[in-house]
Chain A
Amino acid sequence: MNEVGNKEILKQRAKSLAQPLATQKNPADSLEVVEFLLSSEHYALESSHIREVYPLKDFTPLPCSPNFVLGIMNVRGEIISIINLKKFFDLPDTGITDLNKVIIIQGQGSEVGVLADKIVGIRTIDRQSLQPGLPTLTGIRSEYLKAVSEERLVILEASKLLSDTKIGEKEAGRYK
């Protein structure tokens, strides 16, 4: 086998294995999300709904509050309530450490902190690749589901989390 033949073969292989370049996307077609971990499961929230990410420091547990309310926290002089989605989604509780983060989401005039085990980072997802849902995500999880990406990243609907009434109703039902 001569050298030229080898090169040719290698070129062909490279061509077949090469992934196409990510084309410059229209910002309207792409969705920017913040990916985070909940009990080693990957979830994401749209960055447009997120005000900021804050480390979980000096939070105060609220007595006589539902179990999914972790407590309240002082963020630069602003009191933010923190929701533990693991209780919501019946995920195993891994405990609270000082590595936990709070994702503060805002909308409809209210702000809520969502507890996250770890922040993975910002991620840009093609809107067309999104799928409406998974059959394994049922019950309460499907209610808060916005979409599922190709990498099986569960994108939650921030506006639903913000709607206080829903949670209140749920809690009212739970404490009846």
Chain B
Amino acid sequence: MKWSIQNKIILMFAAILGSFGGTSLFAYRNMNGLIENSHWVDHSYQILSAGDRIMSDLTEAESGARGYALTGKDIFLDPYNDAVSSLDKRVGVLKQLVSDNPQQAQRIEVLRNLIAEKLKSLEEIIKMGKESGLAAARGHLAVGKSRVSMDQIKDTFSQISDEENDLLAKRTEKVKEDFGLVKGSLIFSVLFGALAIVIALVYVRRNIAGPLVGIAKMASKIAVGDLPAELPNNERQDEVGDLMRSFALMIRYIREVAQTLEQISNGNLIVEVNPDSDRDVLRVTLAKMIQYLNTMTQALEEVARQNLTVQVQPKSNHDVLGTTIVNMTDKLRSINVRIREGTSVLTVAIAQILSVTSQVAAGATQTSNAVRETSVTVEEVKQTAQLTSQKAKNVSETALRVTDISLLGKKSVEDSIAGMEEVKRQMESVTGSIMKLSEQTQAIGEIIATVNDLAEQSNLLSVNASIEAAKAGEQGRGFAVVAQEVKTLAEQSKAATAQIRSILNEVQRATGKVVMSAEQGVKVVDLGVKQVNQSGTSIQTLAESVMQAAQAASQITASCQQQLVGVDQVAVAMTSINQASGQSVVGIKQVESAAQNLHSLGQTLKQLVDEFRV
């Protein structure tokens, strides 16, 4: 039989149960003896008390009889009668009590005879007292015969009580002995049981509960994924040992699976997984997983070989990887198509960009040249500003001189007034002459109209002549030529009159203007006279104004200096712009080359995209 924990525990409990059972049986038996012995002790006490009661009855009866004998009163006979009536019954009880002991029964028989004898003597006394008087009775008493029988009774009783007391002492001794035995056995069984329980507890604690707690801890660690190190080799042959070995196997199994998973997680899909059976769930699942991953990897490899026609069937709606690969290939396909379209658009756009950048480069070169010209112009402006500054200085100097001259001017004004009067007269004569000229041009116009009318009529005439010539047929041919010539002449004269008319119009317009001007001139001269007078005063104010102008000129000089500085800054800025435009030309050249690179890139892209099988 295997020495298993189950058996051990059964054995242990059996031992404890056996010890308790034995002890209980022993105690039970001793108890029974004890109870019996105590019963016998009671029996002895009953016998003794019954004997005492008989003795007291006898004494009562005797004392009653003696009382009667002494007094002769019947009242003393009552206790006697009571004792006699009960005595027989009491002796019967006693006899029954000692029926188990033949020796005692024999003694009781003797006792009964003695009691009967005694009672008989007492009856004789009483009878003598009644018949022969009290003296005889007393005499009878004095004989002492009753005394003897009484002593015999007492002896017999003492024998009986001695016997019983003997028995009683023996029985009490026996009870004490039995009680001690029961007590000892109880103490022993309690101590033994306690010891056995303690031993069992210690054993369970050490050999079963301890290892089970360890295994439970390990199991809880494994439950949260914490695999302990290799378990020590266990030699135990019981269930705990089996449990520990099973745990070791389980940990090794989990570790193997975990290592396989780690390799898979490191991307190693050539790892071998051999399930022990169909029920080896983890390895079977691992093998399925590897197969699934291999299928997906092959599909991805096809995609990597630029084959987008690969078809992957997702296992279900929850097949994230499969669905993702399908989505990816779909997306890649659409992206590829779009890239293909995009690259063609790109190629065209780049070609356009290329042409545009070429144009821009040309434009930038032109801009650069323009900027250079502008900077030259700015340089000229600068020189002009310097000149202006110089001039302003001169102006301020001149202004001072003008003040002196203005005094001279006043005198000149007076001379001017006289000159003006002369001019007025001359102007009036000029106006008259021009009026006459205007009238004559009117007459010329009328003559020209007449000439024009004549030319028109000649033209019409020439047409009519041509018609007539045509009607005349072959004979009129020469005439037709003449008519043509007339027409030409008419047209020439018409043109000439048109020229003359235009010239005449201009002359008329001019004379009209001259007339107007002359009339205005006269008015202006009148005004002039007034104004020359005003000029006198004006010149005075002018002199003051010139002084102010001189100050203004000096301010202008300062402004010009600032302007010069400003123009210098502009020149510097233009130089910067010139450099910048030069750089931009260079930049645009680079852009152009970049665009060319882009063009070649677009071509490359197109080739790359075309390599995809969609």
Stretch with Cβ within 8 A of B (4 or more), from A50-58, A64-72, A77-85, A141-149: A50-58
Residue B103 at the chain A interface, CB threshold 8 Å: no
Residues of the A chain whose Cβ atoms lie less than 8 Å from the Cβ of B578: none
A interface majority secondary structure? strand
Taking a contact as CB atoms under 8 Å apart, the answer to whether B457 and A55 are in contact is yes
Question: Is A134 an interface residue, CB under 8 A from the partner?
Answer: no
- B457-484 CB mask vs A (1 if < 8 Å, else 0) is 1011001101110110110000010001
Partner of B470, one of A32, A101, A119, A121: A32
User: Measured between C-beta atoms, what is the minimum distance from A123 to chain B in Å?
Assistant: 10
**B residues near A62, Cβ cutoff 8 Å:** none
CB distance from A97 to the nearest CB of B (A): 12
| B-side contacts of A55, CB under 8 Å | 456-457, 460
Contact A52 B487 (CB under 8 A): no
- State the CA gap A27–B476 with chains docked (Å): 13
Residue on A nearest B463 in the bound complex, by CB: A53
Residues of B within 8 A of A52 (CB): 464, 467-468
Chain B residues, Cβ within 8 Å of A101: 460
B485 to chain A, nearest CB (A): 13
Residues of A within 8 A of B471 (CB): 47-48
User: Between A and B, how many residue pairs show CB distances below 8 Å?
Assistant: 38
- List A residues 26-80 near B (Cβ within 8 Å): 27, 32, 34, 47-48, 50-55
Task: State how many angstroms separate the Cβ of A93 from the closest Cβ of chain B.
Answer: 22
For this complex, 22 residue pairs linking A to B, each with C-beta atoms less than 8 Å apart, are: A27-B473, A27-B474, A34-B467, A47-B467, A47-B470, A47-B471, A48-B470, A48-B471, A50-B467, A52-B464, A53-B463, A53-B464, A54-B460, A55-B456, A55-B460, A99-B456, A119-B463, A121-B463, A122-B466, A122-B470, A122-B480, A122-B484
Main secondary structure of the interface of B (DSSP, over half): helix
- Assess the B460–A53 pair: CB atoms within 8 A: yes
Bound-state CA distance A121–B480 (Å) is 12
Chain A positions near chain B (C-beta within 8 angstroms): 27, 32, 34, 47-48, 50-55, 99, 101, 119, 121-122
Chain A residues in 8 Å Cβ range of B470: 32, 47-48, 122
- Point out the residues of chain B lying under 8 angstroms from A119, CB to CB: 459-460, 463
Q: How large is the interface on B (under 10, 10 to 19, 20 to 34, 35 or more residues)?
A: 10 to 19
Chain B residues numbered 261-283 whose CB sits less than 8 Å from any CB in chain A: none
Identify the B interface with A (CB < 8 A): 456-457, 459-460, 463-464, 466-468, 470-471, 473-474, 480, 484, 487
In the complex, the answer to whether A47 meets B466 with C-beta atoms within 8 Å is yes
Residue of B nearest to A33 (CB): B470
What CA separation (Å) do A57 and B370 show in the bound complex?
A: 69
A55 and B454 CA atoms in complex are apart in Å by: 12
Cα distance A119–B463 when bound, in Å? 8
C-alpha spacing A47/B457, complex, angstroms: 19
Contacts of B456 in A (CB 8 A): 55, 99
A8: min CB distance to chain B, Å: 38
B232 to A: closest C-beta gap in Å: 117
Name the one of B460, B463, B473, B474 contacting A122, with C-beta atoms under 8 angstroms.
Answer: B463
Contacts of A51 in B (CB 8 A): 467
Told that A53-B463, A121-B466, A122-B466 touch, could you supply 18 new A-B pairs with CB distance under 8 A? Answer: A27-B474, A32-B470, A34-B467, A47-B466, A47-B470, A50-B467, A51-B467, A52-B467, A52-B468, A53-B467, A54-B460, A55-B456, A101-B460, A119-B459, A121-B463, A122-B467, A122-B470, A122-B480
Residues of A near B466 (CB, < 8 A) are 47, 121-122
Cβ-defined contact, A121 with B487, below 8 A = yes
Identify the interface centre among B471, B474, B487: most chain A CB within 10 Å of its CB: B471
Residues of the A chain whose Cβ atoms lie less than 8 Å from the Cβ of B474: 27
In the complex the two chains form, what is the Cα distance from A130 to B464 in whole Å? Answer: 25
